[in-house]
């Protein structure tokens, strides 16, 4: 296995996994791309998943058809099907990708029919893919004990979540949680950078803002704003420890107006700066801002 960093990207990597010791894995990556970065026509002998983490909707040509992939959308391309971006993006964008063979990773009983039909598909609301994708990419980029097992199980989780979304069923609710709060939690987690207000969340949950805030605090034990800050800090720690993204890029991805605003919030929550936190967990030099 080896990792390269394609030129022309704002940040990111491309990991080649055929020799990682796990059947079914071909490659994976996490890339922040400028508007000039366009993915040209290519094919693979396995499925390829593209998750648009942030940025405007992108247009793709897959099997002679144009597909629109929104932010937090998933494009799945089957083996042997040519695909490419149909045009450059209107703004910088961020995406995860993975090329893998579901039949080699999942048991026959767990293999969803979508992986046998070999038809491309797009899932517009695939925000629930972010966490399993990040877990998988963490195993790709770090050498932990039991690495092969970590790669195998995290790849399986990635495919399981994609299978559930392809099935078209709504996400399950926690049995003990008010359904409006489950909806709000999912929205906050999927749109950390959007600065959703209590009014926005209440409208999505079909409650008045005052009633929504009261129910949220009762169910979760903190305000929606505090809950969002906590999720932002959890993601900030992950990005600082597992990626080489600049502090400014991380601040933008998390919805902060500037790196200084992000650093202030991070220090208030953790007692240290983003740069110092990165040095502590990676043992590396000071990072670029």
pLDDT at 177: 65
179: left (phi over 0), alpha (psi -120 to 50) or beta: alpha
Report how far Cα 206 is from the mean position of its chain's Cα atoms.
27
pLDDT tops 60 at residue 217: yes
CA 123 – CA 68 distance, rounded (Å) = 10
Mean of the per-residue pLDDT values of the chain:
88
pLDDT at 286: 47
68 confidence band (pLDDT: 50, 70, 90): very high
pLDDT at 181: 85
Give the homologous superfamily in CATH for domain 227-282. Homeodomain-like (1.10.10.60)
pLDDT tops 90 at residue 282: no
171 confidence band (pLDDT: 50, 70, 90): very low
Tracing tokens 């055929």 back to the chain, one arrives at 18
159 confidence band (pLDDT: 50, 70, 90): very high
271: left (phi over 0), alpha (psi -120 to 50) or beta: left
pLDDT at 143: 79
pLDDT at 284: 58
Report how far Cα 63 is from the mean position of its chain's Cα atoms.
25
Burial label for 41, CB within 10 Å (0-12, 13-18, 19+), is exposed
pLDDT at 121: 94
pLDDT at 203: 92
Cross-sheet strand order for the sheet of 47-54: 2-4, 11-16, 25-33, 93-100, 47-54, 74-77, 121-123
pLDDT at 288: 47
Mean pLDDT, to the nearest integer, of 240-257? 87
- Residue-wise over 6-28: b if at least 16 C-beta within 10 A, else e? eeeeebbbbbbbeebebebbbbb
Mean pLDDT, to the nearest integer, of 132-152? 89
Q: Closest Cα to residue 85, out of 10, 33, 30?
A: 33
pLDDT tops 80 at residue 283: no
CA distances from 249 to 4, 130, 204, 219, 246 (A): 20, 17, 29, 33, 5
Most confidently predicted of 123-137, 151-165, 210-224: 151-165
Mean pLDDT, to the nearest integer, of 91-113? 94
Q: What is the DSSP string of 211-243?
A: HHHHHHHHHHSS-HHHHHHHHHHHHHHHHHHH-
pLDDT at 76: 96
Q: What is the DSSP string of 121-141?
A: EEES--GGGHHHHHHHHHHHH
pLDDT at 64: 85
Residue range(s) in the chain whose domain bears CATH number 2.60.120.10: 2-166
Answer yes or no: are the C-beta atoms of 60 and 85 closer than 8 Å. yes
pLDDT tops 70 at residue 173: no
pLDDT tops 60 at residue 69: yes
Mean pLDDT, to the nearest integer, of 251-273? 91
Residue range(s) in the chain whose domain bears CATH number 1.10.10.60: 227-282
**C-alpha dihedral (213, 218, 220, 226), degrees to nearest 10:** 40
Q: Taking the chain, what is the end-to-end CA distance rounded to the nearest angstrom?
A: 30
pLDDT tops 70 at residue 22: yes
CA 130 – CA 73 distance, rounded (Å) = 10
Q: What is the DSSP string of 13-76?
A: EEEE-TTSS-TTEEEEEEEEE-TT--PPSB--SSEEEEEEEESS-EEEEETTEEEEE-TT-EEE
Which CATH architecture fits 179-221?
Orthogonal Bundle (1.10)
Domain at 2-166, CATH class: mainly beta
Question: Considering the entire predicted model, what is its pTM?
Answer: 0.72
Provide φ and ψ at 50, rounded to 5°: -115, 120
172 confidence band (pLDDT: 50, 70, 90): very low
In the chain, the percentage of residues whose pLDDT exceeds 90 is: 50
């Amino acid at each position: 296995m080896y990792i390269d960093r394609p030129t022309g990207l704002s940040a990111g990597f491309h990991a080649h996994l055929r020799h990682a010791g796990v059947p079914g894995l071909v490659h994976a990556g996490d890339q922040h791309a400028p508007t000039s970065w366009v993915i040209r026509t290519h094919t693979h002998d396995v499925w390829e998943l593209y998750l648009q983490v942030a940025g405007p909707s992108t247009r793709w040509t897959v099997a002679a058809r144009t597909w629109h992939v929104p932010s937090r959308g998933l494009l799945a391309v089957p083996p042997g099907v040519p695909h490419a971006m149909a045009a450059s993006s209107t703004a910088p964008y961020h995406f995860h990708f993975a090329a893998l063979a579901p039949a080699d990773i999942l048991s026959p009983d767990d293999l969803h029919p979508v992986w046998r039909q070999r038809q491309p598909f797009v899932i517009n609301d695939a925000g629930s893919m972010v966490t399993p994708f990040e877990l998988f990419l963490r195993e790709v980029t770090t050498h932990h004990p039991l690495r092969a097992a970590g790669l195998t199980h995290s790849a399986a989780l990635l495919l399981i979540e994609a299978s559930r979304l392809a099935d078209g069923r709504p996400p399950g609710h926690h049995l003990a949680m008010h359904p409006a709060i489950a909806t709000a939690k999912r929205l906050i987690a999927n749109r950390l950078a959007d600065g959703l207000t209590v009014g926005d969340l209440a409208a999505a949950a079909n409650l008045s803002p005052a009633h929504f805030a009261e129910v949220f605090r009762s169910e979760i034990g903190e305000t929606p704003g505090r809950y969002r800050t906590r999720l932002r800090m959890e993601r900030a720690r992950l990005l600082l420890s597992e990626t080489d993204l600049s502090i400014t890029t991380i601040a933008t991805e998390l919805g902060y107006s500037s790196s200084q605003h992000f650093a202030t919030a991070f220090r208030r929550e953790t007692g240290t700066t983003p740069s110092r936190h990165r040095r502590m967990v990676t043992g590396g030099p000071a990072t670029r801002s």
